[in-house]
Chain A
Amino acid sequence: MATLKYSRFLGSALLLACLAGAPVRAAELVVIVSARNPVATLRADQVAAIFLGQAARFPDGVEAVPYDLRLGAPVRDEFYARVTSKTPALLKAHWSKLVFTGRGQPPAELPDSAAVRRKVADDPEAIGYIERGALDGSVHAVLVVQ
Chain B
Amino acid sequence: MQQQRLAQFILLSLFGLVLSSAARAQDEPARAPDWRISGFGTLGAARASERDADYTSSVFKASGTGATRRWSTDVDTRLGIQLDATLARRWSAVLQIVSEQGLDNTYRPRIEWANVKYQATPELALRAGRIALPVFLTADYRKVGYAYPWIRPPVEGYSVLPVTSSDGIDATLRWTVGPVRNASQVFYGHSTVPLVGSLHVYGRGGFGISNTSDWGALSVHANVVSAEISSNIGAELFDAFNAFGPAGQALTRRYAMDHKRMMIANIGVNYDPGTWFVMAEAGRTSGHSFLGATRNVYVSAGWRWKSLTPYATWARVRAVGTTLDPGLPLAALSPALAPTAAMLNAGLNTLLMRIPQQTSAAAGLRWDVHTNMALKVQYDRVTPHDGSIGTFINPTPRFTSERTSHVASVALDFVY
Contact = CB atoms under 8 A, between A and B. Distances in A.
Interface of B: 29-31, 33, 36, 38, 40, 80, 82, 84, 94, 96, 113, 115, 117, 122-123, 127, 131-132, 140-141, 143-144, 146-148, 172, 174, 176, 179, 181, 183, 214, 216-217, 273-275, 304, 307, 368, 371-372, 374, 415
25 contacts: A45-B179, A54-B181, A55-B181, A56-B123, A65-B31, A72-B371, A85-B273, A85-B275, A87-B368, A88-B371, A89-B307, A89-B374, A92-B371, A96-B40, A96-B141, A96-B415, A99-B82, A100-B141, A101-B140, A102-B84, A102-B96, A103-B172, A105-B36, A105-B84, A109-B29
Interface residues of A, number: 32
A119 to B, nearest CB: 7
B40 A100 contact: yes
Given A45-B216, A85-B273, A85-B275, 6 more contacts: A56-B174, A85-B217, A92-B371, A97-B141, A97-B147, A102-B131
A19 interface: no
Contact of A97 (B36, B144, B179, B307): B144
Contacts of B174: 54-56
Contacts of B122: 56-57, 63
Contacts of A101: 132, 140-141
B30 A108 contact: yes
Contacts of A92: 146, 371-372, 415
Contacts of B141: 96-97, 100-101
Given A97-B144, A101-B141, A55 B29 contact: no
A86 B368 CA distance: 13
A71 B144 CA distance: 21
A57 B174 CA distance: 11
Contacts of A103: 172, 183
Contacts of A111: 29
A104 to B, nearest CB: 10
Interface of A: 45, 49, 54-57, 63, 65, 71-72, 85-90, 92-93, 96-97, 99-103, 105, 108-111, 115, 119
Contacts of B96: 100, 102
A126 to B, nearest CB: 9
Given A89-B307, A92-B415, A100 B144 contact: yes
A89 B415 contact: no
A45 B29 CA distance: 26
A90 B143 CA distance: 17
Contacts of A108: 29-31, 33
Given A96-B146, A108-B31, A90 B172 contact: no
A99 B141 CA distance: 9
A1 to B, nearest CB: 22
A100 B371 contact: no
Contacts of A63: 122
B146 A49 contact: no
